[in-house]
């Protein structure tokens, strides 16, 4: 006799499984992500309300005017991806394209573990006497290539919060920072580029790939309900991107390579808006030892004028920092289907 069965659909939420240690090309080992948090708070004498929160999981940098770091008053910046670009054969003209070898290909930094220093409250900005507070964190990028653990490179990130107004320069670019400005120095070290003369693991040898640059993409999130938009700021040569209200991200067209300041390729930084976030791509020329790039976040930046041509009402991609949300949703749906299948089997077993 078949027993009557009532099915209850339950929305099951489960934690996504820990990533496997065997990785595909383009993935990094994110097992045991750090939960460390470092905060830089404004000094009692400060006129600025800007405070910084840096997360050891994913290297997310948040800037807010409140200790709550609520979505309505917080902007954030995170590394999104790294791609090596070059030519399949040395000397071939045309545009650079992504190399197929995949050695210097990092698809996501979400959940990647960063190690921290302690916050230094009475620091000075390098090469100056300008008063700042700072914190440094770093990660070593490693990938698995057919069972071989390969060191890709190290990323050092130092966050400086300025305690006073000042003027800085890089090459022939001069710009101002204010009390409360947050400058983030991304330093890339130890990356080995693919060349026709090397046999590095992860470089395709069949086509003699020759790397010429890293394309580093940053993702910036504006305040809730605020569209990230390209902006203009007179009398300054930095590219400016509005992040809601008076908040803005400023990016230089210069990059420091092995101690020398060089121009980025024409058209960089490259800007793309997707809903409430901005993807900003920098092209960093090939380097031997290190490369440095240093965007600036301001919660209150005078003279920001939104470029109306770049405003976008498209909300089709307004996901949060990192790439884990879609995976979590898929996993949740899979669990729901699994529960349904088990209940169905039990009900009709009789």
Average pLDDT over residues 199-225: 74
The answer to whether position 345 is within a domain reads no
Q: Which two tokens stand for residue 274?
A: 């997707």
* Helix ranges, the chain (H): 324-347
More confident residue, 303 or 30: 303
Return the bridge partners of 239, or none.
251
For the chain, what is the domain count? 1
Q: Among 217, 212, 213, which Cα is nearest to 281's?
A: 217
Of 18-22, 99-103, 151-155, 265-269, give the lowest mean pLDDT range: 18-22
In a domain, 22, yes or no: no
Query: 5 or 119: whose pLDDT is higher?
Result: 119
User: Angle 254-255-258 (CA atoms, 0-180°, nearest 5)?
Assistant: 140
Residue 350 lies in a domain: no
The pLDDT, as a whole number, for residue 200 is 65
Query: Is residue 219 in a domain?
Result: yes
Q: What is the DSSP string of 48-107?
A: ---EEEEETBT--EEEESSTT--TTSEEEEEEEEEEEEEESSTT--S--EE-SS-TT-B-
What pLDDT sits at residue 132?
A: 93
Quote the pLDDT of residue 223: 74
Measure the CA–CA gap between 30 and 16, rounded to whole angstroms: 13
263-311 pLDDT tens trace: 998 889 998 877 767 889 999 999 999 999 999 999 888 766 555 444 4
| pLDDT value at 167 more than 80 | yes
Residue of higher predicted confidence among 45 and 201: 45
> 12 in a domain, yes or no?
no
Global pTM value: 0.73
Question: Which segment of 50-59, 95-104, 340-349 scores lowest on mean pLDDT?
Answer: 340-349
309 three-class SS: helix
Which tops the pLDDT comparison, 158 or 92? 158
The Cα–Cα gap between 195 and 276 comes to 39
Task: Determine, yes or no, domain membership for 4.
Answer: no
In a domain, 341, yes or no: no
Q: Does residue 15 carry a pLDDT above 70?
A: no
What's the rounded Cα separation, in Å, for the pair 53 and 55?
7
The predicted pLDDT at position 31 comes to 37
Domain that holds residue 281: 37-318
Three-state secondary structure call for residue 36? coil
pLDDT exceeds 60 at position 19:
no
- CA torsion, ordered 267, 269, 274, 278, to nearest 10 deg: -160
Q: Which residue has the higher pLDDT, 27 or 84?
A: 84
Instruction: Judge whether 236 lies within some domain.
Output: yes
């Amino acid at each position: 006799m078949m027993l009557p069965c009532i099915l209850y659909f339950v929305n099951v939420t489960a934690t996504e499984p820990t990533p496997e240690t065997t990785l595909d090309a383009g993935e990094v080992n994110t097992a045991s992500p750090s939960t460390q948090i470092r905060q830089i708070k404004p000094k009692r004498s400060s006129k600025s309300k800007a405070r910084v929160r840096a997360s050891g999981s994913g290297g997310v940098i948040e800037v807010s005017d409140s200790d709550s770091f609520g979505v309505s008053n917080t902007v954030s910046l995170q590394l999104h991806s790294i791609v090596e670009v070059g030519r399949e054969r040395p000397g071939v003209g045309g545009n650079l394209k992504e190399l197929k070898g995949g050695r210097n290909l990092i698809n996501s930094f979400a959940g990647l573990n960063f190690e921290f220093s302690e916050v230094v409250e009475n620091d000075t900005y390098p090469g100056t006497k300008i008063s700042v507070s700072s914190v440094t964190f770093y990660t070593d990028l490693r990938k698995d290539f057919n069972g071989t653990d390969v060191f890709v490179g190290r990323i050092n990130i130092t966050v400086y919060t300025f305690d006073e107004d000042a003027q800085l320069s890089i090459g022939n670019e001069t710009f101002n920072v204010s009390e409360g400005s947050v400058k983030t120095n991304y330093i890339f070290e130890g990356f080995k580029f693919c060349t026709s003369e090397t046999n590095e693991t992860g470089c395709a040898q069949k086509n003699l790939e020759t790397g010429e640059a890293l394309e580093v993409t940053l993702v910036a999130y504006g305040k809730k309900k605020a569209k990230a938009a390209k902006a203009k700021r007179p009398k300054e040569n930095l590219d400016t991107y509005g992040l809601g209200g008076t908040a803005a991200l400023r990016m230089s067209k210069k990059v420091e390579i092995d101690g020398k300041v060089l121009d980025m390729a024409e058209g960089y930084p490259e800007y793309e808006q997707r809903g409430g976030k901005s993807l900003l791509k920098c092209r960093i020329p090939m380097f031997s030892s290190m490369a440095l790039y240093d965007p600036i976040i301001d919660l209150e930046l005078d003279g920001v004028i939104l470029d109306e041509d770049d405003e976008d009402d498209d909300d089709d991609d307004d996901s949060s920092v990192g790439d884990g949300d879609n995976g979590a949703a898929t996993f949740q749906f899979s669990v729901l289907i699994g529960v349904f299948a088990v209940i169905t089997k039990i009900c009709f077993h009789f």
